[in-house]
Amino acid sequence: MSTSQLQLFQSAVMQSWNAIVITDADLAAGCCVEIANPAFCAMTGYSLDELRGRPLKMLQGPDTDPAVIDHLRACLREARFFEGTTTNYRKDGSSYIVRWNISPVRDDDGVLTHFISVQQDISEHVRTERENRLLARALDATSDPVLLTDAQARIIFANTAFVEVTGYPASEIRGRTPALFKSGAHDDAFYAGLRSSLASGQDFRATFINRRRDGSLYHAEQSISPICDEAGRITHYVSVSKDISQRVDMEQALRDAATRDKLTGLYNRHRGEQLLEEAAAEARTGGGPLTVIVCDVDHFKQVNDRFGHPAGDRILIEVSGILRQSVRGRDAVIRWGGEEFVIVLDACPQAAAIDLAERIRVRIAAHRDVEVGRVTLSLGLATLAPAESTDELIARADAALYQAKRGGRDRLCVAESRG
């Protein structure tokens, strides 16, 4: 090696960012230090004078891994490359985690003369990794579903709670986007608001209706937050949610209890009167004609007296089902009281309402209960007149119903139009 090359080698070693130490190859003496660059001295806290002539065993301590040291000694004995990680100790007694490799150095005749070691203090890296693992375990242990995506909304982490709620294994959703869980229950404006909030660096909070792997829906109170780097660029998004399906179901049950008839599941009279007023207001502002049908199960008292109230209840349930199946989705079917029902047909001309009422009458008459047999329905129909109140409308339909009963039952009567 020329003088210039030797000088270059010495400069490279002494100026290297990595810690470099060169020892002799005297295994019996422990391979003592001959050269250590400033980076090695800074890492260990020892000066070159304090290191020179001493074996690096001086850096070992209570937490130094014996298995790593045993492997190191075997490699040195066999003059082969070594690489490992363990805990070392500085001059002041503080510990650090070192990752290092050792290479044997031979002379021109192939005789082993030295070992050169390149080392790095990876304590901060290990600490960060441990903190990240702890954070991951903490996120995984929390009972709230947590989802982490990259800036392109590709899923990179889902905790156990999220997996349990959605039914998707983590391996199946990793790399996909949260669009996988869309239920179709939200409109474009909902997602536009989400994108706008996140793009401006703000959190987005809402109740989501999501779809599980098995196709079932669930409600989630969800908060989505952007994560930014030091330059303010969005690098990730984190979502924390809570499955509130049980609460939503309970609230719906309470609403149903307040608005639905317990036996038939139809609207109760209180809610029915509200719906009738709403339909009448719409009809008065040009929403189309409003027609109501009032119907009553014929000879219902005789059914109860002869077959008992359970049979009577069953008849009411069967009639309710036929009424629901016979009308449009927008129409309201109401249990008005006892065996009496009211059907509110908004935006329905009287001629179409008469056809519907007749079909209902025929379907009821054709139905056979397993115990009671055939039952029939009498119906009265009226269409809202200008300036007429809903009470007056119901009274006219009621009068038409009683006309049908007096006329022999199992028939429809239509109230005369009001001028």
**Rounded to whole angstroms, how far apart are CA atoms 243 and 315?**
39
- Token duo for residue 368: 């056979």
Q: Is 339 a catalytic residue?
A: yes
Tell the residue number behind the tokens 């000088």, with chain if given: 7
| CA end-to-end span of the chain | 120
**Rounded to whole angstroms, how far apart are CA atoms 60 and 342?**
90
Q: What is the dihedral of CA 35, 38, 44, 46, to 10 degrees?
A: 70
Question: By C-alpha distance, which of 388, 378, 389, 294 is closest to 334?
Answer: 294
Q: Which residue of the set 129, 339, 371, 392 is catalytic?
A: 339
Q: Which residues pair with 147 in a beta bridge?
A: 158, 239
Contacts of 276 (CB under 8 A, 6+ apart): 292, 332, 342, 344, 390, 393, 394
Q: How many CA atoms lie less than 13 Å away from 288 in the CB half-sphere?
A: 10
Catalytic residues: 339
